[in-house]
Amino acid sequence: MKRHLAAVSVAGAFAAALLVPAASADPVHAKNAFTVQAMCGTRTLTAVTNGNGEFTPAHITGKGNTSVFVPTRFALTFTFTAAGSTQTQTQTDNSVKNARVRNTITCTIPFQSFKSSQGTMTIVGTVTGFLTPRSG
């Protein structure tokens, strides 16, 4: 379930936040890193979270990219099927951060599936937030 909350942070999988220096760390290879693709308008972004908080900002990856996505609202559905099982658990997250933030963007998280030795998790939905650095 902690991976589910981390995924929610993305989306991210956001994939909004503070400017993070590119040379400071590699978020993709951090312990508990969760990577997700998101469609933000006409842009496809890859976002990585590695925190357990629901509104944890996500690092936007790509050559020379130092942007961070700060989520403010989620409408996500997660499923999990344990390895060797046919029963699927579903969890929906419709969270809103109590903050008045202007100039947000809404990104679509297309259906994505992740397999591990523990089972298969899927994610689909939308996330709203802002990217840093902010303009205007």
pLDDT for 2-27, tens place per residue?
A: 444 344 333 333 322 322 333 345 55
* Mean per-residue pLDDT, 111-115: 94
Residue range 40-58, pLDDT digits in tens: 999 999 999 887 788 889 9
Position 29 scores a pLDDT of 54
Cα dihedral 86/48/129/73 (nearest 10): 30
Q: Which residue has the higher pLDDT, 93 or 34?
A: 93
Structurally, how many domains does the chain consist of?
1
In this prediction, residue 103 has a pLDDT band, given cuts at 50, 70 and 90, of: confident
pTM over 0.75: no
Please answer whether residues 103 and 90 qualify as being in contact, where contact means their C-beta atoms are separated by less than 8 angstroms: no
Q: Which domain holds residue 109?
A: 2-132
78, 99, 100: which is closest to 89 by C-alpha? 78
Rounded CA gap, 77 and 10, in Å?
13
pLDDT at 64 over 60: yes
Rounded CA gap, 123 and 135, in Å?
30
